[in-house]
Amino acid sequence: MGLQQIDAKMLSKMFLAGAKNLENKKEWINELNVFPVPDGDTGTNMTMTIMSAAREVSALPENASMEAICKAISSGSLRGARGNSGVILSQLFRGFTKRIKTEQTLTVRVLAEAFEKAVESAYKAVMKPKEGTILTVAKGGADKAKELAEDGVEDLDTFIGTVIEHAKYVLSQTPEMLPVLKQAGVVDSGGQGLVEVLCGAYDAFQGKEIDLTVSPAPEKKHGGEESSLKIQAEAEIKFGYCTEFIIMLNRTFNVKTEMDFKAYLESIGDSIVCVADDDVVKVHVHTNDPGLAIQKALKYGALSNIKIDNMRLEHQEKLFKMAQKEGSNEISVTQADAKPFGFIAVSAGDGINEIFRSLGVDYIIEGGQTMNPSTADILDAVDRVNAETIFILPNNKNIILAANQAAELVADKTLLVIPTKTIPQGITAVINFVPELSADENEEAMIQEIENVKTGQVTYAVRDTTIDDKEIRKDDYMGIGDGGILSVGRDVTDVALEMLDHMMDEDAELISIYYGAEVTEADAERIQGLITEKYPSCDIELQYGGQPIYYYVISVE
């Protein structure tokens, strides 16, 4: 009889090995994207999600408990979740660790129950679960785990190996569940990513030599620096230290405890964020004595991710730079109360960024197709917007889940996610905002208006494939609409015009053209002229977007 139990040390090794295996395969997984676009990012999103957790696990002492490891996996993946696949992966880990955190060792029975809990948590996170995806692969593995446990299997080597083989089989069947996968000749990329995590974990379980070194996180760059400086420049700093940390709870943190802790923080500072999520509490407070906040927090558990910034010093430096820029030595500082409404937009391209800023968006999160922001990135943006209710515009269908996850974690503000799937939808949403209306009325109006926006995007193919009965060759230009590929060809202008033809209807009144970083103004004006000539009854707007990868983003309203 083989090994029948997994201890905390082994779990840590297995998780890190799973993360490293996914990281090693991420580019291959990216290439499994159905559409042959240069931004297939499932592998990147899943890798950045799991590596956020891996960094927390690798920072634990070698003798860390099962509970500590579970906290690191759950909280790290939750905050680092990017894209739909990353959010689903974080929810799988969340459900899995919730079941095992109180165990000293893991048996077949416990693992089977944990797999079931993981799938339950992931399915709840998706509003309309689709079969043939990572969810299906996870469910297939969980069903096989339950079957083996009920059959009395106790040997973990047999159990894990059999579960993985079945997960691979379910993955191989995903093209039969989603015709678009079959037509493209690929399996589901998210499901493949999950299988790679399981395979890496199994290698560690079997004692294979694996490099478990985890690289530090890349330094953050905040796309909304300009707007956040403006907010800070207007505010009088009453409490000098911006203090942030994570509490890894070691005792019950119920509603009363949370209220008591918040009340204490309010007694020593302001700008308080206290978000409790299972066994992790995220804390942000502006105070004149960070030590008091830290001492109080230590009563509830160990601390991590501690960050203390001297805001007065930073404030003086920023005001001085602003004064130099404006040629003035006199600076007026006024107290900035929280305004009723604020906006956060995910954007890519300096032209698009400027459009959003000109429309009153407070904070720009750099991201979109090639780099989906994480849940933590969105929460950080929320911290930087001084408003009671904040509308977030994801502007990409692959960011909506992460935004929804962030909305659940915000405690001191209301975060409303407007489910914009494209940049033009985001622009339409903010244009239709009416300050005199309530948050609910604005939310309803914006959601209604974005339904009237059709969007097409022109990019190039990175491989040969067939989709929607269209033969696509590497380096072909493609016009991609809201529902699929509308045009394919070797000339970018012809492809853009054919794409637009498919988007037009008798109700169309406005055509907006946003040209990308690789398009010259002359070429953009030429295509504007051709569109104006073809559709003289429509208003045609041309704007520089500066977006990468997509030569043209065109909307019809």
What are the angstrom distances between the C-alpha of 233 and each of 201, 332, 337, 362, 385?
49, 9, 13, 14, 13
Q: pLDDT category, 1, cuts 50, 70, 90?
A: low
Q: Give 277 or 15, the one with higher predicted confidence.
A: 15
Mean pLDDT of 404-421: 91
What is the enclosing helix (H) or strand (E) of 321?
helix 311-326
- pLDDT tens sequence across 30-51: 888 766 666 557 888 899 999 9
Residue 117's contacts (CB-CB under 8 Å, 6 or more residues apart) are: 95, 96, 98, 99
Mean pLDDT of 383-390: 91
66-80 and 375-383 helices cross at what angle (nearest 10)? Answer: 70
Residue 557's contacts (CB-CB under 8 Å, 6 or more residues apart) are: 428, 452, 453, 454, 508, 509, 510, 512
Q: Give 330 or 508, the one with higher predicted confidence.
A: 508
| Residue 433 main-chain phi, psi, to 5 deg | -70, 135
Mean pLDDT of 230-243: 57
- Highest mean pLDDT pick, 108-117, 246-255, 430-439: 108-117
Q: Report the pLDDT value the prediction gives residue 337, as an integer from 0 to 100.
A: 67
CATH 3.40.50.720 correct for 454-556:
no
Three-class SS of residue 515?
A: strand
Whether pTM exceeds 0.75: no
CA gap 152, 109 in Å, rounded: 9
Task: Tell me what the pLDDT averaged over the chain comes to.
Answer: 86
Return the closest-CA partner of residue 112 out of 99, 103, 94: 99
Return the closest-CA partner of residue 8 out of 72, 53, 90, 95: 72
Specify burial of residue 209 (Cβ count, 10 A radius: 0-12, 13-18, 19+): exposed
Residue found by looking up tokens 């960050």 in the block: 307
Q: Is the pLDDT of residue 223 over 60?
A: no
CA gap 97, 234 in Å, rounded: 44
Give percent of the chain above pLDDT 70: 89
Mean pLDDT of 49-63: 93
DSSP at 435: T
Alpha-carbon torsion (336, 337, 341, 343), positive or negative: positive
Homologous superfamily in CATH for domain 8-205: DhaL domain (1.25.40.340)
Instruction: Find out whether 378 and 344 touch, Cβ atoms under 8 Å.
Output: yes
Residue 324's contacts (CB-CB under 8 Å, 6 or more residues apart) are: none
Three-class SS of residue 9?
A: helix
Q: Give 225 or 283, the one with higher predicted confidence.
A: 283
Q: Report the pLDDT value the prediction gives residue 249, as an integer from 0 to 100.
A: 86
Return the closest-CA partner of residue 188 out of 133, 122, 128: 133
Q: Give 295 or 274, the one with higher predicted confidence.
A: 295
Return the closest-CA partner of residue 262 out of 338, 376, 336, 253: 253
Q: Report the pLDDT value the prediction gives residue 226, as an integer from 0 to 100.
A: 40
Q: Report the pLDDT value the prediction gives residue 282, as an integer from 0 to 100.
A: 81
Mean pLDDT of 502-531: 93
Q: Is the pLDDT of residue 283 over 90?
A: no
Q: Report the pLDDT value the prediction gives residue 218, as an integer from 0 to 100.
A: 63
Q: Report the pLDDT value the prediction gives residue 551, as an integer from 0 to 100.
A: 95
CA gap 544, 517 in Å, rounded: 8
Q: Give 254 or 480, the one with higher predicted confidence.
A: 480
Q: Report the pLDDT value the prediction gives residue 224, as an integer from 0 to 100.
A: 41
Q: Is the pLDDT of residue 228 over 70?
A: no
Helix ranges, 151-224 (H): 156-172, 174-177, 179-184, 189-205
CATH number of 339-450, picked from 1.10.12.10, 3.40.50.510, 3.30.450.20, 3.40.47.10: 3.40.50.510
Q: Report the pLDDT value the prediction gives residue 315, as an integer from 0 to 100.
A: 55
Residue 501's contacts (CB-CB under 8 Å, 6 or more residues apart) are: none
Instruction: Find out whether 345 and 541 touch, Cβ atoms under 8 Å.
Output: no
Neighbours of 534 (CB within 10 A): 14
Mean pLDDT of 355-361: 89
Q: Is the pLDDT of residue 229 over 90?
A: no
Return the closest-CA partner of residue 143 out of 157, 129, 162: 162
* Count of all residues that appear for the chain in the document: 557
Q: Report the pLDDT value the prediction gives residue 230, as an integer from 0 to 100.
A: 39
CA gap 539, 384 in Å, rounded: 37
Instruction: Find out whether 131 and 161 touch, Cβ atoms under 8 Å.
Output: no
Q: Is the pLDDT of residue 117 over 50?
A: yes
Q: Report the pLDDT value the prediction gives residue 257, as an integer from 0 to 100.
A: 83
Q: Report the pLDDT value the prediction gives residue 368, as an integer from 0 to 100.
A: 58
Instruction: Find out whether 366 and 419 touch, Cβ atoms under 8 Å.
Output: no
Q: Is the pLDDT of residue 494 over 90?
A: yes
Q: Encoding tokens for residue 243?
A: 């203090």
Q: Is the pLDDT of residue 205 over 90?
A: yes
Q: pLDDT category, 180, cuts 50, 70, 90?
A: confident
Instruction: Find out whether 517 and 369 touch, Cβ atoms under 8 Å.
Output: no
> Can you give the residue ranges of every domain in the chain?
8-205, 236-326, 339-450, 454-556
Q: pLDDT category, 221, cuts 50, 70, 90?
A: very low
- pLDDT tens sequence across 311-341: 666 555 555 555 545 444 343 433 356 889 9
Q: Is the pLDDT of residue 550 over 50?
A: yes
Q: Report the pLDDT value the prediction gives residue 256, as an integer from 0 to 100.
A: 78
Instruction: Find out whether 120 and 138 touch, Cβ atoms under 8 Å.
Output: no
The CATH architecture of the domain made up of 236-326 is 2-Layer Sandwich (3.30)
Determine the residue type at 94: R
Mean pLDDT of 173-180: 90
Residue found by looking up tokens 């009920």 in the block: 150
Q: Give 332 or 391, the one with higher predicted confidence.
A: 391
Mean pLDDT of 472-479: 92
Q: How many CA atoms lie within 13 Å of 95's alpha carbon, on the beta-carbon side?
A: 23
3-state secondary structure 406-434: HHHHCCCCEEEECCCCCHHHHHHHHHCCC
